[in-house]
Amino acid sequence: MELFTVDFWSALLVIVFIDLMLAGDNAIVIGMAARNLPKSQQKKAVIYGTAGAVIIRIVATLIVVKLLGVPWLHLIGGLLLVWIAYKLLTEEENHDDIKAGNTLGQSIRTIILADAAMGIDNVLAVAGASHGDDLLVIIGLLISIPVVVWGSTIFIRLIEKFSWIAYIGAAVLGYTSAKMIAHEKAFGDFFTSNDLLYWSFVAVIIVLILLAGVWKNNQNRSKMLQQKSRESH
């Protein structure tokens, strides 16, 4: 595709639109992964994690441009995202015994891993919209960087004030993971041909993640109360 033609700019607009539509989920992941860091470390986690995620996203998209239609890609990413949503929801907030550097590194790895899982839908969509043009892929994804960074920063501030937002974030991740699994090409139209079946599957995934998170968090609270009780005696 020739540069600065109508086809080039229209395809670029489509790619940017896809990135903007999907940036919210990525911003939630980044915000949740960095929420327990000291404020001096949060911005670094957001910047480094996003940079690493974007580099991986670009490389992955360029590969998928050549290998579009690989089976089981959605299923693997969806299952990985279910696990990430659960881990982020049940992450303990007490990191007094962990050095800031280690925590920063863990947050960066979580951001990159989560984006790699969540970005599969984005990667496939961008690959399809690019019409095989590598330059379009790179430009479109680079434009999305400030959106993701800005969104994650706002989410960090919100989750500090309202801890229950973490459950909303986990539900969003659950919805994304269920959607990815349901659209696995190997399943054909099993989920997508029936709206009731599709939305029931989405609801089950979300509920399971939230229930598992509540159960684990209650266990953690019980352990903390027992430990404090033993210490007081």
Say if 1 falls within a structural domain: no
- Is residue 127 one of the residues assigned to a domain? yes
Question: How high is the pLDDT of residue 233?
Answer: 65
| 171 found inside a domain | yes
How far apart, in whole angstroms, are the C-alpha atoms of residue 93 and residue 42?
A: 14
Q: Which residues of 44-71 are buried (b: 16+ CB within 10 A; e: fewer)?
A: ebbebbbebbbebbbebbbebbeeeeee
Identify whether the C-beta of residue 30 lies closer than 8 Å to the C-beta of residue 50. yes
Enter the pTM of the model. 0.61
CB neighbour list of residue 120: distance below 8 Å, 6 or more residues apart: 73, 74, 77, 78, 180
Contacts of 161 (CB under 8 A, 6+ apart): none
pLDDT reported for residue 212: 95
Other CB atoms within a 10 A radius of the CB of residue 119 amount to 24
Euclidean distance between CA atoms 85 and 108, whole angstroms: 16
Predicted confidence at residue 100, as pLDDT, reads 31
> What is each CA distance from 191 to 79, 117, 228, in whole angstroms?
16, 21, 48
Predicted pLDDT of residue 95: 35
pLDDT at 27: 67
Q: What is the residue range of 205's domain?
A: 6-232
45 falls within a domain:
yes
Residue 114 and residue 55 in contact, taking contact as beta carbons nearer than 8 Å: no
* Domain contains 101: yes
Q: Are 28 and 38 in contact (CB under 8 A)?
A: no
pLDDT tens over the chain, length 233 residues: 566 677 778 777 777 766 665 565 666 677 777 777 777 787 788 788 878 877 887 888 788 777 656 788 778 878 888 887 888 788 654 433 323 334 677 778 877 777 776 666 667 667 666 766 788 878 877 776 666 666 666 666 777 788 787 788 788 888 888 888 998 888 888 998 999 999 999 999 999 999 999 999 889 888 888 888 787 76
Helix (H, G, I), strand (E, B) or coil at 227: helix
Number of domains forming the structure of the chain: 1
175 burial level (CB within 10 Å; 0-12, 13-18, 19+): middle
CA distance linking residue 116 with residue 57, whole number of Å? 7
